[in-house]
Amino acid sequence: MDVATYRALVAGASGGGLASAVVPKPHRRGEPEYHEPVRFFPLVACLAEIHPSSAEELEDVWSTSSGGRRDRATAGKLKAAGQKRGVPDIEALIPIAGQHGLVIELKPIDSGRASKEQSARLVRLRRRGYRAELCHGGVAAGQVLCDYLRLPWPPDAVARVEAYLALQHLQRRLRRQANRRDSKCQTPISLRTASP
């Protein structure tokens, strides 16, 4: 799914109203692999609300947080601590129908191919009885998760996630404004009470 299709899906799911007007566009600079899990995990929480009978299983879906750019020192420390290349981004260790669990390598919607290590690991995990998928975007990963857990895909899932992200964005903005206002009020008392 490309960016234009994704935005059209979001606009259609929300009726083209508030969510498409308020939600910040997906940030594509910096670390694009960070932004898709940020969209995926609110979707998991939404699925737990919509399907309370699966809430316990959905608690066992997490991020491995092994991707991203790091400086050499941090990369060396993580390698010494056992971090490996090619580990999928999302794990759902929920055995269903003869499969040990679901692992997802999550890539940005408009770019991203699996590295050699990632592709090899996905193949190995499939051979070992896991469902291992490469997904472009948090919505695609959510659909794969629903399929794996045999849950119906909620038609308003994207709109719910976008509304949640818009609310988070608004709360962060209000906190920043409050912090700026508080920092302006923290001038020394002698300056505030001194007369010109």
Q: How confident is the model at residue 86 (pLDDT cuts 50, 70, 90)?
A: confident
The per-residue pLDDT of the chain, averaged, comes to 81
Give the three-state DSSP class for 90: strand
What local confidence, expressed as pLDDT, does residue 37 receive? Answer: 84
Residue 99 DSSP one-character state: B
CATH of domain 32-157: 3.40.1350.10
Alpha-carbon distance values, 76 to 61, 67, 73, 82 (Å): 27, 14, 5, 10
Tokens of 55: 């809430």
Angle (CA) 65-69-75 rounded to 5° is: 80
Quick: pLDDT tens for 137-187: 999 999 999 999 999 999 999 999 899 889 988 999 999 988 887 776 665
Query: What is the domain partition of the chain in residue ranges?
Result: 32-157
Q: Which residue has the tokens 């759902």?
A: 92
pTM of the model: 0.72
Q: Residues 56-79: what's their mean pLDDT?
A: 83
Q: Which residues, listed in sequence order, are joined to residue 133 by a DSSP beta bridge?
A: 104
Task: Return the structure tokens found at 131.
Answer: 């469902």
